[in-house]
Amino acid sequence: MRKILITAAALLLAAPALAQTAKDALTVDLPGDAATLDPHIQWDTDSYTVYRNIFDNLVTRDPAGKIVPQVATAWRYADDLTVVFDLRTDIIFQDGTKLSAEDVAFSVNRIIDPGFRSPQLSQFDQITRAEVTGPAQVTLHTRTPYPALLAQLVKLSIVPKAVVERVGNAAFNQQPVGSGPYRLRAWQRGVQTVLEANDAYWRGKPPFQTVTFRAVPDLSTRVADLRTGRADIVRGLTPDEAEALKPERSLQVLSGLTERIGYLFVNALAGPTRDVRVRQAIAMAIDRDTIVAALYANYAKPASIVLTPANFGYTPDVTGWPYDPARARALIKEAGAEGAALTFTTSPAYDRRLTEAIQQMLQDVGLRVQIVEVDQPTFLRRRQGNPEEAGSLSQGRWSCACQDADGVIFPLFRSGGMWSKYANPEYDAEVDAARTVLDEGKRLAHYRRAFEILRQDVPGVGLYQDAAIYGARRELRWKPTPNEAFFIMDMAWQP
């Protein structure tokens, strides 16, 4: 009897919700507003989240992470340096003009033009030029054989040549026109961006008529917005916040493992960590399982190498050092490094708790760790400067948004790179070879060797595969993807 009453009550309560089958307006709380809406300028997560819904890209990734057609229908290598793309002919820009091969070539040439000063240039500068080679065909030329090309092109949005040339770069940034599922309705800089559905979109009708992205910098306030229904989905939840939201019946936590790797940088060129035994000891002193369970409530996943399984080049059988504090202590004693002073450079952009937890774990095996917190620009200047200034340790949360080892361990550890505080010619040879050979089997073999060398030399310690955590209304259907994309087209509302 009681059960029936409860069911009846539940039905009564649910009735108004059932009546409302479609939802017109979706509200998204982000930590900040888009910095630019021109997709060829900024690519911080907030900007990206907004403008990627206004544009189509040459290629994209399916939910499984496979590179699939979007504007391009097919592609083939004419030779090792030349890739030919066939394009769709039925895509219409939001101003009514057709998307043509000229627009695609223009978009590529625009972002690789040094005069345009795109912050994204270094992701595309292996491309020397793009040319129109047919009515629906574009050919890209690269400097060297470049296996990560397609992975980079996932991030290339196609802009209409005619509009950009007519209105100029500044006006285009203010009033962008794309071919994507949403068009810009209003942009109050720093406050919010409102998009409205492009009903003529070639992949179908977008799920919401309008989408509002609001800038709410404080996480606690974003959560309050979600609780009161002011926002339908909020980005950047911490695991603790996510756990606290779970009991709320009208809300849900949407999370997914990403290609972002949390790692500990260990300076192999300066300070006490120049001794490889000290570096190995550090790798053994960190109890990443406990860290992930306690601080990340198991949203993230422990990772012992500096790459996630979501990236190409990951080989599951090559691992890092297991947690072994006794051996770590012995190694440090052997190296005569007991009480050696390490500096742990950090900035407010990194998780303070993780820094402090690692500090204690290293102190427990006999090292002395001092945390030096500076602001982000200063942190970058030191971390990227010469080895003597970089400090012994720092955290990193690295994503190349290309899901390829080339975008991770090449910049991080290849000698001569500004992030790298490590030099091993053997390692350099492997990662150099892997970036200029197109055959996937050969590339994997190179990366396997590279990770075996990294295991011995420990210029960095894998900590965790990061998770993207969102809080959302219960009715929203969506699954976050490893590349941290935020496509409204992939969402649905199911009361």
From CA 93, how far away is CA 85, in angstroms rounded?
Answer: 20
Q: Are 144 and 436 in contact (CB under 8 A)?
A: yes
- Least distance between other proteins and beta carbon 473 (Å): 15
Q: How far is the CB of 348 from other proteins (least distance, A)?
A: 3
Query: Quick one: DSSP state of residue 312?
Result: B
Decide whether 80 or 351 has the Cβ nearer to other proteins: 351
- Residue (134 or 348) nearer to other proteins, CB: 348
Strands (E), 23-170: 25-30, 59-61, 67-69, 72-79, 82-87, 127-134, 137-142
Which C-beta is closer to other proteins: that of 87 or that of 148? 148
Q: How far apart are CA 439 and CA 436, in angstroms?
A: 9
Burial (Cβ within 10 Å: 0-12, 13-18, ≥19) of residue 486 = buried
Q: Shortest gap between Cβ of 352 and other proteins (angstroms)? A: 5
| Three-state helix/strand/coil letters over 217-285 | CCHHHHHHHHHCCCCCEEECCCHHHHHHHCCCCCEEEEEEEEEEEEEEEECCCCCHHHCHHHHHHHHHH
- Give me the numbers of helices (H) and strands (E) for the chain, helices first please: 17, 19
| Nearest-approach distance from CB 279 to other proteins, in angstroms | 22
3-state helix, strand, coil in the chain (%, to 5): 35, 25, 40
Q: How far is the CB of 1 from other proteins (least distance, A)?
A: 34
Residue number with CB closer to other proteins (99 or 242): 242
Select 176 or 206, whichever has its Cβ closest to other proteins. Answer: 176
Structure tokens at 435: 């970036």
**Cα–Cα separations (whole angstroms), residue 348 to 45, 248, 263, 264, 374:** 17, 30, 16, 16, 8
> Between 199 and 240, whose beta carbon lies closer to other proteins?
240
Distance CA 495, CA 479 (A): 17
Tokens of 101: 């091969």
Q: List the one residue out of 345, 327, 323 whose CA is nearest residue 270.
A: 345
Whole-number minimum distance, CB 371 to other proteins, in Å? 5
Q: Which is nearer to other proteins, 411 or 495 (CB)?
A: 411
In angstroms, what is the minimal distance from the CB of 485 to other proteins? 16
Residue type, 274: R
The structure tokens listed for 475 are: 């009715």
Q: Compute the least distance from the CB of residue 223 to other proteins, in Å.
A: 9
Q: Which helix (H) or strand (E) holds 80?
A: none
Residue with smaller CB distance to other proteins, 277 or 435 = 435
Nearer to other proteins, 217 or 322 (CB): 217
Do the beta carbons of residue 111 and residue 124 sit within 8 Å?
A: yes
Rounded CA gap, 293 and 306, in Å? Answer: 19
As given in the structure block, the two tokens for residue 4 are 């029936």
**Least Cβ distance, residue 438 to other proteins (angstroms):** 21
Least separation in angstroms between residue 265's CB and other proteins is 13
First to last CA, the chain: 27
* Minimum CB–partner distance for residue 122 and other proteins (Å): 4
Nearer to other proteins, 372 or 445 (CB): 372
Lookup: tokens for 349: 């952009």
The C-alpha atoms of residue 368 and residue 378 are separated, in whole angstroms, by 23
Q: Which is nearer to other proteins, 25 or 68 (CB)?
A: 25
